């Protein structure tokens, strides 16, 4: 069983719609949760981080964390074609804050 | 520049050769991480430094891989006797601290694409 699991996609949504990206993790000791965006051929870019149960909003992005269910999600409102990328979920269980990544979900926002 | 830099951006080598990959972290960041990303996969942790010392090298795949950070800033990842399976993008990241919270957020460099023929 992978430590961090994501649906690889592609997830296709029309422009202006809400994109919902999901991630589950296996280590109950995980403390910090990150969403990175990665364009093809580029390095990961931090979008959101969340540490506490509940929702955290930043502009068009909302991260949701449910530690009891070991589930973290990212919602992108008013999706734009420029949001088309791979979204990586990353988890840290402390111990130096090294990150364990999922395989990423490819998002395609269609005109 | 203000971000993490990595050199070279691309490295092509032959099986059995030795390579060095360099990372220059964000100024003032004490924590430095190396990850490896294969096609279609997420980055995989290799090693991290807190200051000059390697605090956790549990992700290094075998003893052909070694990394140093002698002055607590620039780091070099060294791969001996390269194999075709070593081909990947090697990513470096840095953060202010190794603890959680905002200051522990890792910022990635552009990566070095290593191809072993």
- Name the B residues in 59-88 with CB < 8 Å from any A CB: 59
Structure tokens at B103: 């200051």
CA distance A101 to chain B (A): 5
Q: Is the pLDDT of residue A98 over 70?
A: yes
Sheet containing B5-7: which strands, arranged edge to edge?
Answer: B5-7, B19-24, B75-79, B65-68
CA distance A78 to chain B (A): 26
Q: Which residues pair with A37 in a beta bridge?
A: A45, A87
Structure tokens at A77: 């409102």
CA distance B27 to chain A (A): 18
For B52-87, how does the pLDDT look when each residue is reduced to its tens digit (9 = 90+)? 988 899 999 999 999 999 998 999 999 999 999 999
Comparing C-alpha atoms, which of B19, B37, B8 is closest to residue A43? Answer: B37
Contact A104 B45 (CB under 8 A): no
Residue B83: per-residue pLDDT: 97
In chain B, residues with a C-beta closer than 8 Å to the C-beta of A92 are 100, 104
A61 close contact with B: CB closer than 8 A: no
Contact B48 A104 (CB under 8 A): no
Contact B48 A98 (CB under 8 A): yes
A11: left (phi over 0), alpha (psi -120 to 50) or beta: beta
In chain A, residues with a C-beta closer than 8 Å to the C-beta of B50 are 96
Reported confidence tier of residue A95, pLDDT bands at 50, 70, 90: low
Give the residue on B whose Cα is nearest the Cα of A52: B101
Cβ pair B42, A101 in contact under 8 A: yes
For B89-114, how does the pLDDT look when each residue is reduced to its tens digit (9 = 90+)? 999 999 987 666 666 789 999 999 99
Residue B96: per-residue pLDDT: 86
Give, in order, the Cα–Cα distances in Å from B36 to each of A98, A102, B39, B86. Answer: 13, 13, 10, 9
CA distance A53 to chain B (A): 14
Cβ pair A4, A101 in contact under 8 A: yes
């Amino acid at each position: 069983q992978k430590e961090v699991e994501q649906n690889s996609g592609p997830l296709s949504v029309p422009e202006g719609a809400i994109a919902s990206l999901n991630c589950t993790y296996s280590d109950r000791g995980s403390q910090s949760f990150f969403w990175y965006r990665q364009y093809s051929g580029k390095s990961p870019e931090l979008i959101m981080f969340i540490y506490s149960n509940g929702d955290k909003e930043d502009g068009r992005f909302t991260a949701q964390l449910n530690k009891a269910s070991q589930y973290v999600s990212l919602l992108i409102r008013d999706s734009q074609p420029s949001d088309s990328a791979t979204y990586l979920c990353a988890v840290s269980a402390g111990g130096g804050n090294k990150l364990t990544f999922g395989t990423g979900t490819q998002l395609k926002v269609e005109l | 520049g203000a971000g993490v830099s990595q050199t070279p951006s691309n490295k092509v080598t032959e099986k059995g050769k030795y390579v060095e990959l360099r990372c220059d972290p964000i100024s003032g960041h004490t924590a430095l991480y190396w990850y490896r990303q294969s096609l279609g996969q997420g980055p995989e942790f290799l090693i991290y430094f807190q200051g000059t010392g390697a605090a956790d090298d549990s992700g290094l795949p075998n003893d052909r891989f070694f990394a140093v950070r002698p002055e607590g800033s620039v780091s070099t990842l060294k791969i001996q006797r390269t194999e075709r399976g070593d081909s990947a993008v090697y990513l470096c990241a840095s953060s202010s601290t190794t603890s959680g919270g905002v200051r522990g957020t890792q910022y990635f460099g552009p990566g070095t694409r290593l191809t072993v023929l």
